[in-house]
Amino acid sequence: MKEFRINKNDAGQRLDKYLAKAVPLLPGGLMHKYLRLKRIKCNGKRCEAGQKLVEGDLLQLYINDEFFQASDSARTFLLASPEIDIVYEDDNILLVDKKPGMVVHEDESHSADTLINRIQAYLYKKGEWDPDLENSFAPALCNRIDRNTGGIVIAAKTAEALRVLNEKIKSREIDKYYLCLVHGTPQPPKGTLKNYIARNTDEKRVYVSDTRTKDGLTAITDYRVLRSGKGLSLVECRLHTGRTHQIRAQMAHFGHPLAGDTKYGRIKDNRDLPFRYQALYSYKLVFAFETPAGCLEYLRGRVFTVEHIPFADYLNQKDTTKAF
């Protein structure tokens, strides 16, 4: 028999969701069977899969020890460096400036040097998080950025903050602004791109259409040209939706592919440019809350920016980001 005491990070979630994280080796079907047989109890009584857990609850699991064997993957973060570029940090959240070339989660390369592993290693080293003291929670990312795109990524340090942030992102109450260098000068210099994006997972790319397609999802991006030169333009984009490769694909469809982007642009157009990756950076984040934000209410209206954008001075402008 093993017991789990529900802590603050565990509370508020369904029992079945909690067990899936706390005892990942226990199959879902078997879990429901054990609930029916009263081999899983809450505070000594029969419990249901959908009941909400409360801080202080005591779960008792009368199941085989084999389901509690530790997983090596739970310690993968220890293989990563704890070095991260912090934009902002408090007790609930962490804003990190991800550099181009780094993946946010483990991909097909199976490298342990991911952004989430670095964040967990950083918090572990600080003594703010220890997986041995948590039953179901681990610091998690709330948004993703492509490997070769840089910029601000939000990480939740508590379960309550994670729930609030996921809700605010879903309801579009967190505004994300990007800077990019594009070929040519978009006309008009300010506007909104609205079309439909369909994802091709085999090709690892998306396709844009001006008319709705069967698999197409609406994609909306505001843009404004900040300055032009050398056949390029520095453009600020604000996302209203979060589709895969949205800015890269929409700007290319608009006739202005990003500098350095060989997936949606042309190799010959980028041959003489000094960029290893697409010139795209998530440089500003606005907590534009319109509804109550619980434990993150203090962030309402706050704006955070990245000071240095790798490609921002390419048009020979000094202190470029300060004008945005």
Alpha carbons 55 and 7: distance in angstroms, whole number: 5
Note whether 157 and 129 are within 8 A (CB). Answer: yes
The answer to whether 146 is a known catalytic residue is yes
Q: Which of 10, 57, 97, 146 is catalytic?
A: 146
Active-site residues, by number, are 146
